[in-house]
Chains A and B, each alone.
Chain A
Amino acid sequence: MQTPPRLDLSGITKRFPGVLANDQVSFAVQPGEIHALLGENGAGKSTLVKMIYGIMQPDAGEIAWNGARITIANPKAARKLGIGMVFQHFSLFEAMTVLENIALGMDAKIPARDLEAKIVAVMQQYGLKLEPHRIVSTLSVGERQRIEIVRALLLNPNLLIMDEPTSVLTPQEVEQLFVVLRQLAKEGCSILYISHKLHEIKALCDTATILRGGKLVDTCDPAKETSRSMAEKMIGGSLKDIQRGEGRALGTAKLTVQNLSIPKDGPFGIALKDISFSVKAGEIFGIAGVAGNGQNALLLALSGETPSLKPDAIQIDGSKIAALTAKQRRLAGMASVPEERNGHAAVPDFSLSDNAILTARDRMGMVSGGMVNARSARTYAGEVIAAFSVKATGPGAMADSLSGGNLQKFIMGREIMQKPQVLVVSQPTWGVDAGAAAAIHQALVDLAATGSAIVVISQDLDELLSLCDTLAVINEGNLSKPMPVAGANIEEIGLLMGGVHGDPNAPTHISSEVAHAY
C-alpha cells in the first residue's frame, strides 16, 4: 500500500466577516516533499497555515495527518504532532541570549545545560552557525532566523512551515538556508514553503500550490513552469512588463557624488569610504549589495540625515548640497525614501494626510506663516491615494492600518508626486507583493522618463536588473565601479558583493544554480 500523505487538506474553508479567506482548498504534502504555497498578499496563504499550525480553526473541511483525520486545537498540539513553524516576523527577545530565546519557545522544561547540548547537536547536524550565548540584538537577520529554525528543529518536526523565510535574507544566506531545507527533506521532513519569490521556488520546491483570492488555482511542478507562468496564475492575469517610453535618451549628469566619506556611527556602523558616482537625468542607478554593507549610511548621507562636512561631495546640477539638512535638500529638489516604512518613512499612528505633511509640506505649499494648511494636505494625500491605487479608507486612515504594500505605495507616491529632481529610494519593494511592486517599478520608470535622476538601493538583484540602467555594488562601505545593466554578469556582481558579512566560512560566490534562477 502506498504511504499516505504527510498532510492532506480537503475542502478547507475559512470565513471572516466580509471575506472568504479560504474557499474549498484541497492539496496534499507528501513525506520528504518541499511544497511551495504561492500567492499574492491576501490570497489566503497565512490563514491556511495558521489553521495547519492550530492558531485558527477551519469552518469546514478536513485535515488528515499521515492518513488519520485530526483536528489541531492549538499550536502546542501542532508541535506535539511534529509540525514546526518559522514565522516571517520573528518572535524574538532582543536583549536576551540565543539560548534564552530558544528555551522560551520550548514546551518542555529542559535544564539550560541539556538544552545547550541539544542546540549544539542540531546546529552541527545541519551546519547552522550560532553562538548560544550571544545577545540577539547583536545578530544579523539571517542569524536571527537561524534561531527560529533551530527552535523548530529541536522538536524533530515531520512538517516544517516556512512563512516567507527569504524576504529578509541575502542571496548567500538564502543559499545556506536551501542547503538546510534540502537536507531536512532528504531525511523525510516535509516542508511547506510560503513565498512569492518565484525563482527560489523553481530552485527549491518539488510541487507548488497556487492560491488566489482564497481559492486554489493550480497545483503544478515548478520545474515545468516558468516564473512568468506562475506569476500570471498568482495574479490571475497577464503580468505587466515595465513600460518604457520610446527613444529614451539620458541627459547630462544631475546627481554627482564625489569622494563622499562618512565615519561610522557607533560600534556596529559602517563607514562610507570615498564614494563617487553620478546619475544622469532620466537614469535609474541601482546599488546592489549584501545587507549591512553601508546601504543605510549611504541613504542617510544622500537624504541629508547625515550631512557631510564637504559641501561639494554631493551636487545636484552643480549646486553643492552635501552640507545641507534633509529639509534644505528637499527644497533643492531631492526626495528620499528610507528602507524602514514604519517609524522612518512614515509615523505609524499618524494619518496619511499628516504623514504627507512630513515630507511634502515645503514643496507642495502646505505651510504658510508657520501654520499647516490641513486641507491642502488632505487633498494631496487623496491625490496620492488615487494616483497610486492605495487601498485605504481615505487621507484620514492611520498609516499602520495599511498593509505593507499599500503603505509603501503611499510613501513612494508621496515622494514621486512632488516631482523631485533626484529621488533616492532604499528597498522600494521590500515585503511588497508582485502587483504593488510592479506599480512601484512603473512609477519609478515614469518619473525617470520626466528627466529625474533616480538612485535605487536594493538587496533584490532581480529588481535592480529589471529596473536600472546602471548598477554598482556596495561592499564594506566601498562602492564598485558602475556598470551598465545591459551585459552585466551575475557571477561578477556576486563576487563584488563578497562573502556573508561577518562569516568567513560563507560561500564567496553565488552558486550557478541560484545565479541561473535570476
Chain B
Amino acid sequence: MSPEFVIASIVTIIGLTTPILLAGLGELITEKSGVLNLGVEGMMLMGAISGFVITALTFNPWLGVIGAAAGGALSSMLFAVLVLQLNSNQVATGLALSIFGTGLSSLIGVSFTGRIVPQFGSIFPDALAKDPILKLFFGYSPLVYFALAMVPLTAWFLKSTRAGLILRAVGENDHSAHSIGYSVTGVRYAAIAFGGAMAGIGGAYFSMVITPMWAEKMTAGRGWIALALVVFAGWRTGRLLAGAYFFGFLMWLELFAKANGFGNSLPFVQAIPSQFWAAMPYVMTVVALTLISSRGNVGASAPACLGKPFLPST
C-alpha cells in the first residue's frame, strides 16, 4: 500500500462519512426529543435538490447550503404537522416522507438534470489544500469542517445547556415534562426541524460537493444508514462520530470492491462481493444493539418516549 493510496482512501472515507454524520446528528436530536423520523432519506434528497437549485439560480454555494437546510427543514415540517398535530403513526409517516421526498426531488430535478453548478472554493490557501500530504487536513469542502464542528456542539448542547436538558426531558418522559410546564409539541417541532435541516445539508453534500450535478435518488440510501448510525451509536454523540467513520470505512470497502480501482491492493476485500460490504452497516447495527441489550441496557440511552405520540391527559 502506497502512501498515495492511504491518503486517497482516507479522503474518500471522510467524504463518505460527512453526509451520514450530518444527517445522523440531526436525527439524534430529533430522536432525543422522542420522535422517530424515518424520513431521513427523503429529507436528504429534498435538501440535495434545494441546495442544487438555489446554487444554480444564485451561483452561490453558500446560499445553496442555506437553501438545502431550508428544503430539508420544510419537508420535515410536513412530517411534524402529521405526527405532532394529528398524532399519526411516526413510522408510517416517516416512511411516507422518504417516498414523498424521493419523488418530489426527482420531479423538481427534471429541468435541472445535466446542469453543473459552481462549487465551494477551499477555505484554506492552496498551499495547504492542494499539498499531497497536508490536504489530508486542509483539502476538504467547508461542509466537512461544519459536520465535524457540529459533533462537539451537539454533545455540548445535549449535556450542558438548559435547552438540551429540556429536549432530553421531553424525549424521556413527555407527560412529566408537560406537567412541569414545558411545551412538548413546541420542543418536538424544533427538534424535527433541526433534524430536517441537518439531513438537508447532508443531502446537499451529494449534489454540491461529491458531484456538482443533480441525479435522481443520488443519496443512494445513505439516509437509511444515518438512521442505523443513530441506533448503532446508542444515542450518544461521541459514539455517533466513531460510528460514522466506521460506517464510512465499510462504505469505502463496498466502493472498493465494486471498482477494482487500485489493482490488487486489498485482494481480501475484492474477493467478497460489494453487496456484502453494503450490508455491513446494518449487520453491525444489529450486532451493536444485541451487545447493548445483553449488557442490561447500561450502554444504551434510547429516549424512553421514542416513537410514542404525546396525548396530554386533561
Interface status of A124 (Cβ within 8 A of chain B): no
| Beta-carbon contacts under 8 Å, B171-201 to A | 172-173, 175-177, 179-182
In the assembly, what is the distance between CA of A284 and CA of B181, in Å? 47
Q: With A93-B172, A94-B173 known to touch, is A109 a contact of B180 (CB < 8 Å)?
A: no
B303 partner residues in chain A, CB cutoff 8 A? 95
Q: Which residue of B lies closest to A93 (CB)?
A: B172
* Interface range, A side: 10 to 19
Choose among A76, A96, A104, A109 the residue with the greatest number of B CB atoms under 10 Å from its CB: A104
Alpha-carbon distance between A375 and B177 when the two chains are bound, in angstroms: 42
- Establish whether residues A104 and B296, one from each chain, have CB atoms under 8 Å apart when the complex forms: no
A103, B162: Cβ atoms under 8 Å?
Answer: yes
Query: A267 contacts which of B166, B168, B182, B296 (Cβ < 8 Å)?
Result: B296
CA distance A103 to B177 in the complex (A): 12
Tell me whether B181 and A93 are in contact (CB under 8 A): no
Q: How far is the CB of B100 from chain A (nearest CB, A)?
A: 31
Size class of the contact patch on chain B = 10 to 19
Does B176 lie within 8 Å of A266, measured CB to CB? Answer: no
**Are B181's CB and A96's CB within 8 A?**
no
Assess whether B113 is interfacial by the CB under 8 Å rule: no
**Chain B residue contacts of A95, Cβ below 8 A:** 168, 172, 301, 303-304
Q: How far in angstroms is the closest Cβ of chain A from B215?
A: 42
Does A91 lie within 8 Å of B175, measured CB to CB?
Answer: yes
Near A by CB (< 8 A), chain B positions 280-304 give: 296, 301, 303-304
**Least CB separation from A112: chain B residue:** B160
| Chain A: CB-nearest residue to B182 | A104
Tell me whether B176 and A75 are in contact (CB under 8 A): no
CB-CB < 8 A to A100: which residues of B? Answer: 165, 169
A91 close to B181 (CB less than 8 A)? no
Interface assignment of A443: CB less than 8 Å from any CB of chain B: no
B234 to chain A, nearest CB (A): 12
Chain A contacts with B in 84-115, Cβ cutoff 8 A: 91-96, 100, 103-105, 109
- Chain A residue numbers with a CB within 8 Å of B172 are 93-96
Complex Cα spacing A267 to B179, Å: 32
**Beta-carbon nearest neighbor of A109 in chain B:** B162
A100→B166 CA distance, assembly (Å): 9
Report yes or no: B304 in contact with A94, Cβ–Cβ below 8 A. yes
Given A91-B180, A94-B304, do A104 and B175 touch, yes or no (CB 8 Å)? no
Against B, the Cβ 8 Å flags (1 = close, 0 = not) of A361-383 are: 00000000000000000000000
A145 to chain B, nearest CB (A): 15
Which of chain A's residues have a CB closer than 8 A to the CB of B182?
104
- Tell me the complex Cα distance, A76–B182, Å: 12
Decide if A104 touches B180 in the complex (CB within 8 Å). yes
CA distance A100 to B303 in the complex (A): 15
User: In the assembly, what is the distance between CA of A105 and CA of B176, in Å?
Assistant: 10
A109 vs B165: C-alpha distance in the bound complex, in angstroms? 12
A75 pairs with B181, CB closer than 8 A: yes
Q: Is B173 a contact of A93 with CB atoms below 8 Å?
A: yes
In the complex, chain B residues whose CB is within 8 Å of the CB of A96: 165, 168-169, 172
Question: Which chain A residues in 23-63 approach chain B with CB under 8 Å?
Answer: none
Distance A104 CA – B187 CA, assembled complex (angstroms): 14
- Once A75-B181, A266-B296, A267-B296 are accepted as A-B contacts, the answer to whether A91 and B173 lie under 8 Å apart by CB is yes
- B304 with A91: CB separation less than 8 A: no
Q: Do B304 and A104 touch across chains, with their CB atoms under 8 A apart?
A: no
Q: A residues within 8 A CB of B165?
A: 96, 100, 103-104
Which chain A residues lie closer than 8 Å to B296 at the CB level?
266-267
Query: B173 to nearest A CB, angstroms?
Result: 5
Residue of B with least CB distance to A55: B179
Question: In whole Å, how far is B161's beta carbon from the nearest beta carbon of chain A?
Answer: 10
**Complex: how many Å from CA A104 to CA B182?**
9
* CA–CA, A93 and B171, complex, Å: 9
Residue in contact with A91 in the complex, picked from B166, B168, B179, B301, CB distance below 8 Å = B179
Which residues of A lie under 8 Å from residue B181 when comparing CB positions? 75-76
Q: A185-202 vs B: 1/0 string, CB under 8 Å?
A: 000000000000000000
A296-324 interface code vs B (CB 8 A; 1 in, 0 out)? 00000000000000000000000000000
With both beta carbons as reference points, the residue of chain B lying nearest to A103 in the complex is identified as B165
CA distance A76 to B175 in the complex (A): 18
Contacts of A104 in B (CB 8 A): 165-166, 169, 177, 180, 182
Given contacts A95-B304, A96-B165, A266-B296, could you give 8 more A-B pairs where the C-beta distance is less than 8 Å?
Answer: A75-B181, A76-B181, A91-B176, A93-B168, A93-B169, A94-B172, A104-B166, A267-B296
- Of the A-B pairs whose beta carbons lie under 8 Å apart in the complex, a sample of 21, sorted by A's number, is A76-B181, A91-B173, A91-B175, A91-B176, A91-B179, A92-B176, A93-B168, A93-B169, A93-B177, A95-B172, A95-B301, A95-B303, A96-B168, A96-B172, A100-B165, A104-B165, A104-B177, A104-B182, A105-B180, A266-B296, A267-B296
Closest 9 CB pairs of A and B: A91-B176, A93-B172, A91-B179, A93-B173, A104-B169, A93-B169, A95-B172, A105-B180, A100-B165
